[in-house]
Structures are given as C-alpha cells and as structure tokens.
Structure 1
C-alpha cells in the first residue's frame, strides 16, 4: 500500500507578506500539517518557533542564503562550514528533518570538489539529519552551480553517505530538461524530498504544464513516501488558490 499524498507548505514562498512566525500559523489554518523553511528560522528564537509550530512537522530548512552563500563558491570554505553548522544547529533546535546545503552561484571549476567536501562533512557531522542538494534551473537562478539531477547524482556518488540526498523540485527539473517522471524514476533512490509548483508559471500546482494528478501517484508508486513541498508563487492569496490541494488529495 502506498503512502497517502501529503503536503508541506514552503514558507519561503507562501505568505511572504507576513512575519515568519505568522506564516506558520497561516499554514496550520490552511490545513497543512507540515512546513519547510528557507533560512528564516536561523534569525528567530528556537523556542518561539517551536511554540508557533505546535507539533507541526518541519520537513527541512535551508542553510544561509544570498549571493555570497553556497558550498561550491571559491574562497568561502570556512563561511560555508559556518553556514551549514548554523543550519544543523537550528534544524535540531526546531525539530527539522533535513538541511538544504546550497551550492551557490558560481562557474568555478573547483565547485564540485568543494561541494562534495562540504556535503560529506555535513553528512558525517549530522547523521541524524538528511543533507539535501538541489539542482536549480538557469531560467530561475542564473549562474547556479548545480543545475541538473544528473549533476547532483554525480556529487552524491562521490559523497557516498546514506543521509545525503537530492531535493527534486519538479519546476526546476522540468525547466532544466524535462522528462520529470523518467528522471525521477532513474534517481529515486537518491531523492530525499520533492517540491512542486506549476510548470512554466511556478504558480499553483494546478497551473501550467505539469500534471500532478498523474505525477504524484507515480512518484508514490516509484517509492517516494515523503510529503510534497509546496514551493510556488501564489497567483493571488494563498488561501484563494488552495483548491488544487483538495483536487490532488481527492
């Protein structure tokens, strides 16, 4: 029996007009049982975050973001280590299950070696957490070092740690080369989290060219049993666009 389809509200994209702790409350009120963060929790009191969560699951959070952040960037090894260590500390403090180790924006030839080194260190330092890397399409993130699932899989083959995985964002995968389901099936053993958004629009999952009524059950059948992270730009208010959730779980 496959796991039921469940969703995680990405609070780096949803309810961005509200303070961070209020976004958590909004997600609960909208019917989400899980949330995921960008790097906001690192700037909050951990006890206040836990109180706001009230038992909600935290799927994961990002290491520090910004143009000068990322494990593949040259000349920033110690900064990357510090950013990852801070994210691990925060994840443990708020009960998050994963940390996204950003690769960053660079075309430096040594980026792969640096990303492998930082990811290996992180996976060894936090065997209780999943360490994620995410391919980002150049259309949405020009200059991103990590752009394809295949590139991410190569990094993981060199890291060779069971808690190092791929964040498979369907929007980015589609824009970076398509064949979303085929590529998912090929790499499902290395995938630690899945995010969804409408194809070209990156709005609600029921907009655009990606058919999640087909894809989500297929992901389940392929072996993915985790929540689907909702990382999209609402066309209006989040609440006005949530009919997609009812349709995909009907």
Structure 2
C-alpha cells in the first residue's frame, strides 16, 4: 500500500507553517515530514498532529548553522559534541511527536578537500552515526542517512547510493537505515528500480520529486507509477515523502496523487 506524507517545508507554503498540517490533511495526506521542528515547541506540534489526525513520519536532526550554509554535522571532525547534543534534542522531539525516525544530515566537505580530509570526515561520520544509532535504539527510533545530489548541494559528503550502503555496513546498527530519495538518486546514479531492489532491505523511508526541476512527481523524466507499482510488489509498507516544489499552488498540482488518496480543488 502506498502511503504518502506531505513535506511541509516544501508543500502548502501558501499557509503559515502550523496551518499546513490542516491543509495537508484536507488534501488527503495521512502523514507529514519536514526539515526541522525546532522553531516550535513539541507541544505546539503535537497539538497540530492531534487536531488533524496526521502521523509525524520524519524530520532532521539540527543541522548546525543552516542560515550560514551548514548542511548537517554528522561528518564534521571537531563538532562531535555539538552533534551529540543534536541527537539528544532530536530524540526529545521524536518521543514527543511519536516520530519513529530522524535523519542525520552528513554535512559538507571543505572546498577542494583532499583524500586525507575526506578520510577524516569518514572517521567522524562513522563514529557519530554509531552514537546516534545507539541513543536512538534506547528509545525505539531509527536514524536515517540520505545521499544528496551534489548539483543541488555542492560538497555534500554523502552523495552516492553505494557510498551510503558501505556506511550502513561499516556502522553495523540495525536501526540505521537508508533514506532513499528518488530525485537525488536519479541525478547521481539513475537505474532507480534496480537500486530499490538491491537496497530494499536497508530502506527506512522514501522520498519523491520530479526530475530535473524538483516539481510534482508527474513532471519530468521519472515515471513514478512504475516505481510505485514495483514498491508495492516488493512489499514496501513505509511512507513516501512528497518532497517537491509545487509549480504553482500546492493543491492545484496534486492530481498526480489521486490514485493514492490525494485530492485537488
């Protein structure tokens, strides 16, 4: 069964953030995700979820100085203390919102990073992910890692599917999973269905968007009905996050999801 979650950082931007929960529920979504919850109290967010009967399915750990250009802390040498604090904070929100998984963004390499610098980031990444997975396991949560394409996010440490699978193997934690974003994978690796098949047992969450413009999933070069059909055949029961930028007003572009419960004007 295909279950769609609205990414409230990208969808329903016609509304104030808290009002996006009701807009998503009214459009037929059953779950929500977003980048970060930390501008709001857990109580405010929990109330929004309860009022709309939505499930919180995913959010990210604190990313460092986002406005200053940072994109995660997990691979940054010398920032281990800050990363550990971010894990504690994210898990506090996850428990309050009954959210089963959190995403630890890897962070950026320095411009022109050499092999030695990349190796230092790898060591920090593995160590930090082991810590995060261990802490999350204590409270029954999963930690996700996501390869992000280097066109949208130049210098991002984790960008390839094979790299992510190697990290999962090296960390060796059962609750460390792959956040499989089909948009990023298409740009960096392609061969989407075969990647899904090969990596299926490692996948903890899936996200979609049209390629190359990151608009609705029915716009661009990826044929999502075939991918959803294959996911159903594989027995995927998790959520599919709709992390795309609507071409116009959000609800006007939801026709692509009618077969999976979404409604338009």
- TM-score w.r.t. the length of structure 2 is 0.89
RMSD: 1.5
Decide which of 48, 53, 56 is 2:54's aligned counterpart: 56
Distance in 2 of aligned mates of 1:91 and 1:114: 24
- Count of residue correspondences: 246
Distance in 2 of aligned mates of 1:112 and 1:28: 40
1:42 paired residue number: 38
Distance in 2 of aligned mates of 1:155 and 1:130: 15
Structure 1 portions without partners, runs of 5+: none
Tell me if the contact between 1:5 and 1:249 (Cα under 8 Å) persists in the aligned partners.
no
Runs of 4+ off more than 3 Å:
247-250
1:77 paired residue number: 80
Deviation (angstroms), 1:76 = 1.1
Asked if 1:198 is matched to 2:210, the reply is yes
Asked if 1:102 is matched to 2:105, the reply is yes
2:7 paired residue number: 10
Tell me if the contact between 1:213 and 1:248 (Cα under 8 Å) persists in the aligned partners.
no
1:244 paired residue number: 256
Distance in 1 of aligned mates of 2:31 and 2:259: 18
Structure 2 portions without partners, runs of 5+: none
1:154 paired residue number: 166
The CA deviation string for residues 195-218 of structure 1, in whole angstroms up to 9 with x for no partner, is 001121210010101111100110
Asked if 1:30 is matched to 2:13, the reply is no
Distance in 1 of aligned mates of 2:21 and 2:122: 35
1:222 paired residue number: 234
Higher relative contact order (CA 8 A, sep 6+): 2
- TM-score w.r.t. the length of structure 1 is 0.94
Distance in 1 of aligned mates of 2:233 and 2:123: 34
Asked if 1:87 is matched to 2:90, the reply is yes
Distance in 1 of aligned mates of 2:249 and 2:77: 40
